Structure 1
C-alpha cells in the first residue's frame, strides 16, 4: 500500500508539473495576435489566459484526456510509474524549449512519451490510432494556413466592408460556440453534449425534429447565438470601428484560449485516467480540475515570455490578419475535441499566424514570417516526439529499478 501511495504521489506531481508547463507554454499562443495588435497588454493577457484556460480545461478536457490515457498503446493499462515517466519526460522537454524561446508542441511530446512508456511497459503499437492522429496533425498546418490566408485577403478586399465581413465572422463563431462539446452538459448516453443540445433537446424548449444527430431546436438555438454575436459585433464597430475590431479580437482570442484549455489539459491528465478510475476510484472531473489549476498557475508565472515571442517573432500582423489567424484555430481545435485527438496549440497558432502573415507579405504592405525561426521550430517539433518516446522508454526502465517503484 505504501508503495502505491508513493508512486501515485510521484505521478500526480508529474501531472501537475506537466499542466503547469502547458499553461506556461501552449495556452499562451491564442492571445499572442491580440498582444501583437496592441489590443491587450502582455501581463493582462497572461492573467486572462490562466483563468479562461483553466475553465476550458474543466468543461472541455474529457475526450482528449481519455485518448491520451487509454488509446495510444494496446494490451496494457498505464501504471502510475509509466504515467510518471511519460509526464516527467514531456514536461522537461517542453520546459527546455520554453526557456530557449522555441515553443515545443506539447501534444507531440506527450504522445511520444506515452507511446514510449507504454511500449516499455509491454504494450503494443496502436497503429490505427496513430494513423488517425498523424493525418489530423498533417492537415492542421495546411488547412489553417489556407483558411487564415483566405480570410485575411478577404478582410483586406475593398469589396467586403469591414462592417460586414467582421460581424459575419463573429456570427460564424457564435454559431460554433452553441455547438462546442462540453463535458458538463452530457447527453443521456453519457457522452459530452453542447449548449444547443442542452437548451433544445434536454430541456425540451423546442421540437425535437431530428436531422441526423441534429434537431430543429438545436438549429434555432445555434442561429440565435450566431445572430447575437453578429449584432453585438456590428454595434461595436458602428461606435468606433478600430476599437470595435480590437474588442472582437480580444474576445475571439479568449474564446480560443478557452478551447486551448480543453485540448491541452488532457496532455497532463490523460496518463492518470486509469489511475483515477481503478486505483483511486475518483471521477475524472477531479483530475481535470487539478489540471486546470496547474494550467492557471503556469499561465500566471511563465506565459508572458511565450506570448511576446509568438506575437513578435513569428509574424507582425495587424488586428484584421490576427482575426483571420484565430478563426481557423478555434474551429480546428473544436474539431479536435470532438474527435478526441490531442493537438498542440503552438502548431495550430503558428500555422494560422503564418497564413495571415503571408497575406500581408503578398500584398506588399510589410510584415511577414521569420523563415529561420520557423525552421528551428520545425526541427524542435520532430525531435520532441521521437526524442520523448526514446527518453520515456528508458526512464520507465530506470524508475522500475528503484525500490518501491515496481
Structure 2
C-alpha cells in the first residue's frame, strides 16, 4: 500500500508540473506573441525550454518554502499526493476555460488545508510572507510596468527600432520563462521533500514535467494573455516582461512562490494603460481576480475536507 501511495505522489507531482507548464509558464510569452515577435507554437517551445533551465538551476529556495515553510512537521505520502492532485486539478480546469489561474494560489491553499486536516502546525511567519508579497505584486507590477513603458515610449522609436525591440522582447520573454520555471517548480515538487532527499532529482523531475506541459498545452493561455487582457505592442511588452522578471527574482531570492500569472497579467495591464483604460478588458480582469481568490479558498477547503476523511 505504501508503495502505491509513493507512486501516486510522484504521479501527482508530474501532473502538477504539466499544469504549471500549461498555465504559469505560458504567461511569460503572452506579450511576446502579442507583439508578433514569435508565433504561438514557437513561443511555447521557447517558454518550455527556458522554464526547464530555471527549474533545475534556481528552483531550490521555493521548493524548501513549499516543503517546510508553510506547515511544520513531516508531509505524509498520501498528504503530498492529495495536495498536488487537488491543486493541479483546479489549474487544469482553469486552462480549459482560458482563465490563467495562479498555480501558487492553489498549491499554497492546498498545503494549508492539508496541514489543518493532518495536524501539521501552520507556520504563520511563512504564510504571512507569502500572502504579503502576493498582495503587493499587482500594485508593484502596475506602477513599474507603466513607468517603464512611458520611458520606452518617450526615448525609443517604435519605427526606427522595431527589429531591436523584437529581439529584446524575445530575450526578455526567455528570461521571464526561466524565472517562471525557477519560481514554480517548487510548487510541483515541494510537497515531496520529505519523500525524496535529493533536491537535484526533485528539480529535474519537476523541470521535465513543466517542459512537457509548456510544449503540449500552453498555446491556449498564450493566446488568451496575448489578446484578451490587453492588446500591447513591443515596447509595452518589454516593460511588462521586465517588470515580471524583477518581481520573480525578488520572490525567488526570498523563497516566495510568486504568482506568475498575477505578476505578468498586472504588468500587461499596467503597460497597456499608457494607451488608456479602454485598452484593457476590465470585465475579464475582474472575473479572473475573483476566480483566483476563490481558487485559493476552494483548494484549502477541498484538501482539508478530503484530508479529514482520510485521516
- TM-score class normalised by the smaller sequence: over 0.9
Conservation of the 8 A alpha-carbon contact between 1:265 and 1:292: yes
Selected match of 1:101 from 98, 103, 108? 98
Give the Cα–Cα distance (whole angstroms) in 2 for the partners of residues 299 and 136 of structure 1: 26
The residue that corresponds to 1:301 in the other structure is: 216
Q: Distance in 2 between matches of 1:36 and 1:382?
A: 27
* 2:263 alignment partner, one of 342, 345, 348: 348
Supply the distance in 2 between the matched residues of 1:130 and 1:26 (Cα, whole angstroms).
Answer: 21
Partner of 1:131: 128
Consecutive unaligned residues of structure 1, counting only runs of 5 or more, are 164-236, 278-282, 401-406
SS in structure 1 at match of 2:131: helix
Is the 8 Å Cα contact of residues 57 and 291 (structure 1) preserved in structure 2?
yes
Instruction: Select the structure that is richer in helix.
Output: 2
- Asked if residue 318 in structure 1 is aligned to residue 233 in structure 2, the reply is yes
Q: Distance in 1 between matches of 2:157 and 2:70?
A: 45
**TM-score, normalised relative to structure 2:** 0.97
Could you say what secondary structure the match of 2:200 adopts?
Answer: helix
Return the offset for 1:154: 1.4
Among 286, 296, 300, the residue aligned to 1:389: 300
Q: How does 1:33-112 map to 2 (within 5 A)?
A: 33-74=31-72, 76-112=73-109
Whether 2:166 is the aligned partner of 1:246: answer yes
Counterpart of 1:274 in 2: which secondary structure? coil
Larger Rg: 1
Q: Deviation at 1:255? A: 0.6
CA distance in 2, matches of 1:118, 1:78: 8
Aligned counterparts of 2:87 and 2:124: Cα–Cα separation in 1? 21
Q: How does 1:212-361 map to 2 (within 5 A)?
A: 241-277=161-197, 283-361=198-276
Q: Which ranges of 4 or more aligned residues in structure 1 deviate by more than 4 Å?
A: none
Q: Distance in 2 between matches of 1:137 and 1:122?
A: 26
Following TM superposition, by how much is the alpha carbon of 1:162 offset from its aligned partner in structure 2, in angstroms? 4.8
Aligned residues: 311
Question: Offset of 1:125 from its aligned partner?
Answer: 2.1
Q: Name the CA distance, whole Å, in 1 between partners of 2:309 and 2:92.
A: 22
